Structure 1
Amino acid sequence: MSESARADARRQDDESAASFSDLGLPAALLRTLDEHDVKVPFPIQAATLPNALAGRDVLGRGRTGSGKTLAFGLGLLARTAGRRAQPKEPLALVLVPTRELAQQVGEVLTPYADALKLRLATVVGGVSVGRQAAALRDGAEIVVATPGRLHDLIERKGCRLGRVRITVLDEADQMCDMGFLPQVTEILDQVRRDGQRMLFSATLDGDVDQLVRGYLRDPAVHSVDPSSNAVSGIAHHVFVVHGPDRWSVATEIAARDGRVLLFLDTKHGVDQLTRHLRASGVPAAALHSGKSQPQRSATLARFKNGQVTALVATNVAARGLHVDDLDLVVNVDPATDPKDYLHRAGRTARAGRTGTVVTLALSGQRRETSQVMADADVTAKVTKVRSGEAELSRITGARVPSGTPLDGGPSTRPKNQNAPFRGIGTSKDTKSASGAKPSRKSSEARKLAEARKAARVRRGG
């Protein structure tokens, strides 16, 4: 970015509105904002909305949870108000990388769209493409979509983008990281060339810069967060744990009084831990790409309303998941990439609140974990912990779970996990000789030996 662009951005930030009423938004939007108790614009909203409402291309960088949805959404809706879409021909498009984010953006914008009598359709994979095609056929002024499913609908002749006047790329850096760049550029090539484009991202480098140079015209640039994207309202902790004690620590944290989001690297690991937590009496649910979209939506709804208190997830939940008052995130598997760490951490301390992020690291993972956090510009307090310790409870609210299985089965540990460390010499099979029930095979062998002995006695041998 040039020095003149930086100066322009600083000047625009200084001139940004202090309240929504200063922006010239339609009265219907102001009423809806008031109904949802949204009183004062967040910095990214105050900085970008004047340019968005003026129809200028916008380049905005702000951390996850900084209020970007309304930053682009209110401008998009206000500029689309009063227009009517033809079948299959939306007037505004919001592209996002994940299903969860698409649904969240749709949920946030729907009441404001309704206030302006605008129709909004959400287009994502994992659900019926026929229903989505029908929604576009009926006419939708606003479409919120993931690139893959929108590409499918275009290929099926179910959507045409030639009348799209406003295009938004949200979380553009993740779309590039996930390999969506070719589909994104293909979509941008189909919308109106003279239309408005807004790009929002946590970082503005690499492929994102390519998008900016190729598709934005003299954008108004706004950056309202430090380049590290680290959040001052988050307390970061690394818990160094003994290997066999790792599951016990995770279980006690998950059993806390309050919601917690736990991240693991694989779908298999997520399912294992979820089964273990539920068998231990913790209301837990799994979220990963192996679940259908209706399952994922239902799980998120139960987590948000408190029916599920421990959400166990892969990085599919690292972006696009907003839960009010979520104050604890746990990396059961440490993040191996600084971006992943920051986006996992960004699920807490949203909208100016505070939160805690805990990473469970084995001794052999400490160096790599420290490097990831250094690259993310995060300083964490390192503590050695064991299950049942007061320090664990003090930081996370950890407690012993009830032990009453929630699904009717016995409480069991996940497969291929060691029992908690109980000292040198402890066997994996902790049953005593007197307490163990003999196997059928050993019982039959003993009976056979006794029968042979009796036969020898009878023969006088």
Structure 2
Amino acid sequence: MAVSRPRQTTSSHSLTFADLGVPDALTRVLAATGVERPFPIQAATLPDALAGRDVLGRGRTGSGKTYAFALAVLTRLAATATPRRAGRPRALILAPTRELATQIDSVMAPLAQALSLRTMTVFGGVAARPQIAGLRAGVDVLVACPGRLADHVDAGHAHLDAVEITVLDEADHMADLGFLPTVRRLLERTPRGGQRLLFSATLDAGVDVLVRRFLTDPVVHSVDSTLSPVAAMTHHVLHVHADDRFAVLVELTAAPGRTVVFTRTKRGAKTLTRRLVTAGVTAVELHGNLAQGARTRNLQAFSDGTAHTLVATDIAARGIHIDDVTLVVHADPPEEHKAYLHRSGRTARAGAAGTVVTLMTDRQVPEVRELTRKAGITATTTRLRPGDALLRELAPGERTLVPQPVPPAARPRHEAQTAHDGRSRRGGKPAPTTSTRSAPTRSGAAAFSARARPAARRGGR
């Protein structure tokens, strides 16, 4: 299908949400949360989305895509005022991870309430029965991960023939995770004449397949905001000896402020979290081997400040938004440049400043140089040892270390289950969660080696 030419984005500084056609009931809710002026991606896409056009929106992570589609969906649903029907949502938002689905719903829920609209989430890793009850009660906006929604559709608990608007968020990530067959199957059950909005950080081949198959003459808005994370963050590569990696990481994470540390594997995240907690850093983990209850508790602990450090696999690169993350550390350099940008986008969101640090050993030099080149960033490379003054510049403030025993963990999910949209119904034990397995005595390099075997596509993140 034909794709309209990209439109030039006008400055959003002089615009208000009311100027773009957002109703007063929603602008009041936005103002109450401190959101008063649209970001470029919102200013660009809202007029076309509110007019009922299919929209293809590209913006870097943290550019404000959630409000861009949330405001359009809710405004259009309120205008049509179609009554809710059991098992037949009026709008469908597909997201690749549970964390992202939850956060989309948390953004939409207060806005929807102002318009007397109802939202709910559907994803794996939790019991299906409450979801079935919610669907039967009727819902206006369903925010779902593809796998669990497909289960409900197949079982007859959900029907997509009344969907007026469909949104695909992080479409490129869904393609990367192998969800496209399920996504296509779900979209084919929505009405052909319905409006479709697709938002993505990149427009790769997998995304292009969805665009050509399901979007009708879409308007393309490609917005690389001047407030984007890449423009607002500083990048550093710390060239360290392998035996110094953990000590350097402790110095960075013991500083005040929120830090996200990325590893390549689930086992690496689990082991590193345990070692940091034992060293006195308040840290929690986030990866696919945790049951959903444990993942939720750990994110809450990181969000409310109980834990200052989140150790995560790439599941968190797209799936979470926590305000005021000041530092991102690539303990394991990612395998490709897109992952570097998405991981790094956990800081410097919405124009705030942030720092990104990559730890690099001698044998990783060629890999990291190629990574930064493809990512299009200029990083300052410094060879250093623990105690170097630069560490306090990168993570300023008084270091606090309170060594403590590792708390009991929730039972890990089975390795074979998908890390992003699994169907496990197991809960977890209370508390921010880390592993209870004994960790062998090993160096920091061995504990979270970048040479660890890459995780499996579906179940290893």
TM-score bracket for this pair, using the shorter chain length: 0.7 to 0.9
Residues in 2 aligned to 1:408 and 1:188: alpha-carbon distance in whole angstroms: 43
What SS does the corresponding residue of 2:346 show, helix, strand or coil?
coil
Per the alignment, residue 48 of structure 1 pairs with: 45
Per the alignment, residue 327 of structure 1 pairs with: 326
Question: 1:404: how far off?
Answer: 2.5
Mind listing any 5+ residue stretches in structure 1 that lack a counterpart? 421-461
Per the alignment, residue 183 of structure 1 pairs with: 182
Alignment of 1:55-70 (within 5 A): 55-70=52-67
Per the alignment, residue 391 of structure 1 pairs with: 390
Residues in 1 aligned to 2:11 and 2:303: alpha-carbon distance in whole angstroms: 36
Per the alignment, residue 415 of structure 1 pairs with: 440
State the number of aligned residues. Answer: 414
Greater shift in the superposed pair: 394-403 or 342-351: 394-403
Is contact 1:99–1:125 with CA below 8 Å preserved after alignment?
yes
Q: What are the superposed Cα offsets for residues 30-67 of structure 1, whole Å, 9 maximum, x if unpaired?
A: 21112112110000001100111111100100011111
Residues in 2 aligned to 1:84 and 1:302: alpha-carbon distance in whole angstroms: 38
- Letter paired with 1:5: R
What SS does the corresponding residue of 2:329 show, helix, strand or coil?
strand
Matched, 1:317 2:316: yes
Alignment of 1:167-182 (within 5 A): 167-182=166-181
Per the alignment, residue 375 of structure 1 pairs with: 374
Is contact 1:288–1:316 with CA below 8 Å preserved after alignment?
yes
Alignment of 1:29-48 (within 5 A): 29-48=26-45
Residues in 2 aligned to 1:399 and 1:256: alpha-carbon distance in whole angstroms: 6
- Give the greater-gyration-radius structure (CA): 1
Residues in 1 aligned to 2:407 and 2:185: alpha-carbon distance in whole angstroms: 51
Alpha carbons of 1:17 and 1:213: their partners in 2 closer, same or farther (altered >3 Å)?
farther
Larger helix proportion of the pair: 1
- Letter paired with 1:245: D
Greater shift in the superposed pair: 202-211 or 21-30: 21-30
Matched, 1:5 2:8: no
Cα-Cα RMSD: 2.4
Alpha carbons of 1:354 and 1:143: their partners in 2 closer, same or farther (altered >3 Å)?
same
TM-score, normalised to structure 2, is 0.86
Residues in 2 aligned to 1:357 and 1:416: alpha-carbon distance in whole angstroms: 29
Mind listing any 5+ residue stretches in structure 2 that lack a counterpart? 409-437, 446-461
Residues in 2 aligned to 1:15 and 1:304: alpha-carbon distance in whole angstroms: 29
Residues in 2 aligned to 1:357 and 1:185: alpha-carbon distance in whole angstroms: 36
Matched, 1:79 2:76: yes
Alpha carbons of 1:171 and 1:247: their partners in 2 closer, same or farther (altered >3 Å)?
same
Q: What are the superposed Cα offsets for residues 281-337 of structure 1, whole Å, 9 maximum, x if unpaired?
A: 111111101111111111111101100001111111111211111110000011111
Residues in 2 aligned to 1:158 and 1:365: alpha-carbon distance in whole angstroms: 50
Alignment of 1:115-130 (within 5 A): 115-130=114-129
What SS does the corresponding residue of 2:319 show, helix, strand or coil?
coil
Residues in 1 aligned to 2:12 and 2:387: alpha-carbon distance in whole angstroms: 53
Residues in 2 aligned to 1:244 and 1:156: alpha-carbon distance in whole angstroms: 53
What SS does the corresponding residue of 2:325 show, helix, strand or coil?
coil
Question: 1:198: how far off?
Answer: 0.3
Alpha carbons of 1:271 and 1:419: their partners in 2 closer, same or farther (altered >3 Å)?
closer
- Letter paired with 2:112: A
Residues in 2 aligned to 1:243 and 1:172: alpha-carbon distance in whole angstroms: 37
Alignment of 1:191-206 (within 5 A): 191-206=190-205
Q: What are the superposed Cα offsets for residues 365-418 of structure 1, whole Å, 9 maximum, x if unpaired?
A: 011111011111111110111112212222223876535325489xxx953523
Alpha carbons of 1:226 and 1:113: their partners in 2 closer, same or farther (altered >3 Å)?
closer
Residues in 1 aligned to 2:2 and 2:184: alpha-carbon distance in whole angstroms: 24
Per the alignment, residue 292 of structure 1 pairs with: 291
Residues in 2 aligned to 1:272 and 1:23: alpha-carbon distance in whole angstroms: 49
Residues in 2 aligned to 1:261 and 1:419: alpha-carbon distance in whole angstroms: 17
Residues in 2 aligned to 1:221 and 1:102: alpha-carbon distance in whole angstroms: 24
Larger RCO (CA within 8 A; separation ≥ 6): 2
Per the alignment, residue 457 of structure 1 pairs with: none
Is contact 1:16–1:46 with CA below 8 Å preserved after alignment?
no
Is contact 2:286–2:298 with CA below 8 Å preserved after alignment?
yes
Per the alignment, residue 416 of structure 2 pairs with: none
Per the alignment, residue 307 of structure 2 pairs with: 308
Question: 1:277: how far off?
Answer: 1.1
Alpha carbons of 1:62 and 1:93: their partners in 2 closer, same or farther (altered >3 Å)?
same
Is contact 1:274–1:286 with CA below 8 Å preserved after alignment?
yes
- Letter paired with 2:302: F
Question: 1:23: how far off?
Answer: 2.2
Alpha carbons of 1:15 and 1:221: their partners in 2 closer, same or farther (altered >3 Å)?
farther
